[in-house]
Structure 1
Amino acid sequence: MESLPNMKAPCQDCPFRKDTLKGWLGAERMAEILAADSFVCHKKTDMQCAGHMLINGRDNAFVRLAARLRIPLSLGGADTVFASATACIEHHEN
């Protein structure tokens, strides 16, 4: 089975995790990141970020690509990321 270059779960320092440092990125920067079609993991820059894929779902271009190619992403850790973009942005407010 083919695979795509993506993280399988949000890393420990993923900015989309509920336990990330409050106010870390600022609301404006987080809103920009969430509005992007995709986001590369900040630790493994050759991999797509699992947190961005989980929080954005089909709004993430990488998720849509995987679906078109019928390649399962097998993402875990959905319970560790914010339930909505709004909640994530509010958490990152300074």
Structure 2
Amino acid sequence: MTVGFVAFHYPRPEDFDDFVARVHQIAGVLRSVPGCLSADCWITTDGDDAVVSTGQWESDAAFAASFAAVAAADVDVTFDERERRPRQIIKLASR
């Protein structure tokens, strides 16, 4: 069973470009772990100015290993005043 996630982030306008760069950096760490099939950064085009991160893994174990790698890496994943509203994170599983 493959697993994945979709996360919607809402950075403040003045922090948007830096936030996109942060998500690209995190995606690179996620992709570096065996079993990660994809990790990407998207932006919405509907005027909401959201950054959408997505990922897909071969298994729950690979998913957990990727996020353990992020925790161990020197990347900024902090939720703080740079985001104008809480993140929405949805974990997915294939059937």
TM-score normalised over the length of structure 1 = 0.26
Bigger share in strand = 2
* Structure of higher CA gyration radius: 2
